[in-house]
Amino acid sequence: MFNLGNFLTLSTFGESHGTAYGGIITNFPAGLNINLEEVQHQLDRRKPGQSSIVTQRKESDTVKFLSGIFDGKTTGTPIGFMIENENQKSKDYDHISKSYRPSHADFTYDQKFGIRDYRGGGKSSARETVNWVVAGSIAKQILPANVEINAYVSSVGEIFCEKPYQDLDFSKTESNDVRCPDAETAEKMIARIKEIKKEGNTIGGTITCVIKNLPIGIGEPVFGKLQAELAKAMLNINACKGFEYGSGFCGAKMTGKDHNDLFNEDFSTKTNLSGGIQGGISNGMDIYFRVAFKPVATILRPQDSFNSDGDPIIVEGKGRHDPCVLPRAVPIVENFAAFVLADLFLINKLRKYSEPL
């Protein structure tokens, strides 16, 4: 319960300033040569301190695998992994142990649990996503090699990447700090983030994710629809406020005549407003979805608030915070989506009866 995945499952643990993060992946198929460099590479993409527009917290974010892999291959038994926290400084946080920061989870955690680890947000910190990146980047290796999952920053504040994804070259996504494959837009986004950072402010944005070559048939008909599993995963990412796929909210303005995707002879479709999914099941066309992220709640400016005793206080973020979460969220979205796909991909193998030999 409250794990990720249905057959392939991920349990996780860890708090921002605890000893370590980590997780357990269950039911991973045996005999797969795991590319561990790729896992570390994905973690490095998410890591703080990569550029001037993200937080300068120092963490090497090195993943250690503790079980389930032998001689480089998965053994089919649970994969345990751990990422140690190196930069935990409990003292940094003592003064805010009673503070309720606006638009943070301090108040709700206290109300729900009657206790919380207040250091760096404790469990509510987005640092939890290191676990998801590890799990997703391993899970992706289950998928057919030609499946491509490419996310990119499609807007920062009011600056949008106007080009449709089809016109973008995803090999350029990593070529700039903001991870927008359109160089011109990227430049504007970076300038905007720097401006915002200078003001001690933060800014939101959207990420678009495109999945190519996913086999037909992935997703389950009733409560396991592909879009629902993706939406659930995305809305579990900290700061995520919305999810749409295919025509999304724009599709709600359209008529059936214009929205329907007519078939080609090979059962591909002439248009793809459906976003590659029909009845909850992949149809072989590109799957694409868009995720909204609110601006980071921690701003480096004084804000009026109250502490848990009800006394008025001033809270003011200090030091190492992201002015914009979007660039670092790109690998999170990609790898989290990969986990969902791998889970449903495995399950789909059981959905058609085949004569046992």
CB atoms closer than 10 angstroms to residue 354: 7
Of 236, 286, 316, 320, the residue at the interface with a copy of itself (CB under 8 A) is 236
Question: Residue 289: which H helix or E strand, with range?
Answer: strand 287-293
Of 38, 221, 318, 319, the residue at the interface with a copy of itself (CB under 8 A) is 221
Minimum Å distance from CB 212 to a copy of itself?
Answer: 15
For residue 103, give the DSSP letter. T
Show contacts with a copy of itself in window 11-70 (CB under 8 A): 11-15, 18-24, 26-27, 29-32, 64-68, 70
Does the annotation list 283 as a binding residue?
A: no
Does the annotation list 297 as a binding residue?
A: yes
Question: Residue 249: which H helix or E strand, with range?
Answer: helix 248-251
Binding mask 322-351 for a copy of itself (x = CB under 8 A): ------------------------xxxxxx
206 near a copy of itself, rule: CB under 8 A: yes
Does the annotation list 179 as a binding residue?
A: no
Which one of the spans 39-47, 55-63, 182-190, 287-295 is the region binding a copy of itself (CB under 8 A)? 287-295
Burial of 78 (0-12, 13-18, 19+ CB in 10 A): middle
| Residue 22 and residue 78 in contact, taking contact as beta carbons nearer than 8 Å | no
108 near a copy of itself, rule: CB under 8 A: yes
Nearer to a copy of itself, 171 or 257 (CB): 257
292 near a copy of itself, rule: CB under 8 A: yes
Number of residues that bind a copy of itself (CB under 8 A): 156
Does the annotation list 298 as a binding residue?
A: yes
For residue 328, give the DSSP letter. H
Nearest CA among 354, 5, 289 for reference residue 151: 289
Q: In what order do the strands lie in the sheet with 312-315?
A: 99-100, 303-307, 312-315
Which one of the spans 45-53, 54-62, 176-184, 203-211 is the region binding a copy of itself (CB under 8 A)? 203-211
Pairing of strands 63-65, 9-13: unpaired
Which one of the spans 41-49, 165-173, 182-190, 265-273 is the region binding a copy of itself (CB under 8 A)? 265-273
Of 163, 172, 194, 259, the residue at the interface with a copy of itself (CB under 8 A) is 259
Minimum Å distance from CB 194 to a copy of itself?
Answer: 14
Of 50, 51, 57, 102, the residue at the interface with a copy of itself (CB under 8 A) is 102
CA distance 1 to 16: 23
318 near a copy of itself, rule: CB under 8 A: no
Nearest CA among 346, 243, 339 for reference residue 42: 339
Nearest CA among 218, 157, 204, 223 for reference residue 185: 157
Nearer to a copy of itself, 41 or 263 (CB): 263
Region for 290 from its dihedrals, namely left if φ exceeds 0, alpha if ψ lies in -120 to 50, beta otherwise:
beta
319 near a copy of itself, rule: CB under 8 A: no
Of 45, 46, 47, 104, the residue at the interface with a copy of itself (CB under 8 A) is 104
Of 40, 87, 242, 286, the residue at the interface with a copy of itself (CB under 8 A) is 242
Show contacts with a copy of itself in window 137-166 (CB under 8 A): 142-145, 155, 157-158
Q: Is 350 helix (H, G, I), strand (E, B) or coil?
A: coil
Dihedral (C-alpha) 300, 303, 307, 311: value to the nearest 10 degrees?
140
Dihedral (C-alpha) 103, 16, 23, 70: value to the nearest 10 degrees?
150
Of 35, 40, 50, 77, the residue at the interface with a copy of itself (CB under 8 A) is 77
Nearer to a copy of itself, 99 or 171 (CB): 99
